[in-house]
Amino acid sequence: MARRIGWAALLAAGLLLPMRVYPVLAADILAWALFATAFDIMLGYTGLLSFGQAAFFGGGAYTAGLLTQRLGVPYPLNALAAALAAGLLALPLMGLAIRRRGIYLAMITLAFGQMVFYVVNEWRSLTGGENGVQGIPRPALGGVDISSSTAYYYAAFPLAVLGLLLCWRIVRSPFGRVLLAIRENDVRTETLGYAVHRYKLLAAVLSCALSGLAGGIWVINHGFVALDAVHWTTSGLVVIMVLLGGMGTRLGPLVGAALVLLLRDFISTWTDAWGVVTGTIFILVILIFRQGIVGTIERLLEARTRPAPAPAPAVEEVASPHRS
């Protein structure tokens, strides 16, 4: 019951968000929350630390932006096309990257991210190079007017929620359980007869496709996209969001994304050095609450309910952050 009330409150908060904060920022939170949650499928549930996620977020953003600007593809088809493009891009890149683990995987994905950055920078006739893609219109399927920021927020909301539900469904499915096993010990998982490589690849491709969807939602929100979207700092930011909120928790990435964006917005009204403040908070969280904000709260709640026979479903138990 309490759980249901919690979800209803979260949904209500989502629906009321643009009345409390600047709608453009609110839609940014949707996009980044989806991006971070999608990335957590790889980072928190499969143990794949990628430093090149900007390639898929930005790749999706460029795809949606160009399709809308040049061919007039309406929302939400442009955002869905972004997901498809990012997924297709992930297939070869991640197919190669997941052959390695740990720091090697991080370096390979970083290198892929940089390669995508340089391609986007040099392919000027398509991407506009340094100038980016400017003046992307905002047509919608069925001629619905979503040109105001608030209208767009409510148009983006169902798509982002659908994306989030899909992320949560993936990690709680039997498939997700295998991913957890891979995260804990991939050699043992393989000996149990699972095709670890294929599981990793599917997880990565799904994660990247949903990151592309987030990029699509983001680009239509702003009406332009430039090199920053594919820059490595974007890859870094999403890692920070996930760690801050708590990796391997259901709401952690969402909380992390909202927190970083709201902090940035709040701090940048009086200083441009917002990175110093968010950086300090990040370091403190990592030093003191290693499981991130949501991870720590979950653990405290768990400790409190432990004396009674645990009512939480088993999945919840496995989904809590790993403690090695």
Partner 1 sequence: MRTTALLGPAAGQGAVQLMHGKVVLAVINDQSGVYADIGGKHGVEAVKMAVEDFVKKYGPNAVGGPIEVLSADHQNKPDVGASKAAEFYDRNNANAVIDVPTSSVGIAIAHVAAQKHRLFLNVGAATKALTNEDCNKYTFHWAYDTYMLAHGTGTEVTKRIGKKWYVVYPNYAYGQDMNRSFSAAIEKAGGKVMLSDATPFPNETEDFSTFLIKARTLRPGGVTVLGAMQAGQDLTNLVKQFNEFGLRQQGINLAIGLLFISDIHSLTPAALEGTIYTTAWEWNLDKQAREWSDRFFARDKTRPSFTVAGNYSATWQYLEAVRRTGTDDPDKIVAALEGYKFNDFFVRNGEVRKQDHAVIHDAYLAQVKAPGDVKEPWDYVRILNTIPANEAFQPLSENTCHMAR
- Determine if 60 is a binding residue for partner 1 (CB under 8 A): no
**Residues sharing a CB contact under 8 Å with residue 94, sequence separation 6 or more, in sequence order:** 50, 109, 201, 204, 205, 208
Query: From CA 251, how far away is CA 193, in angstroms rounded?
Result: 32
Q: Which member of 229, 230, 238, 254 binds partner 1 (CB under 8 A)? A: 229
- Determine if 130 is a binding residue for partner 1 (CB under 8 A): yes
- Determine if 118 is a binding residue for partner 1 (CB under 8 A): no
Site string for partner 1, 137-156 (x = CB under 8 A): ------------x-------
Residues contacting partner 1: total by CB under 8 A:
21
Residue 90 beta carbon to partner 1: minimum distance, rounded to whole angstroms: 24
The token pair at 48 is: 């794949």
CB 260 within 8 A of CB 245: no
Query: From CA 241, how far away is CA 249, in angstroms rounded?
Result: 12
Q: Which of residues 5-34 bind partner 1 (CB under 8 A)?
A: 22, 24
DSSP assignment string, 20-74: HS-HHHHHHHHHHHHHHHHHHHHHTTT----S-THHHHHHHHHHHHHHHHHH-PP
DSSP 322: P
Which region, judged by CB under 8 A, interacts with partner 1, from 37-45, 197-205, 265-273, 299-307? Answer: 265-273
- Determine if 275 is a binding residue for partner 1 (CB under 8 A): no
Which region, judged by CB under 8 A, interacts with partner 1, from 75-83, 105-113, 200-208, 264-272? Answer: 264-272
The binding site for partner 1 (CB under 8 A) comprises: 22, 24, 129-132, 134-135, 149, 222-229, 268-270, 272
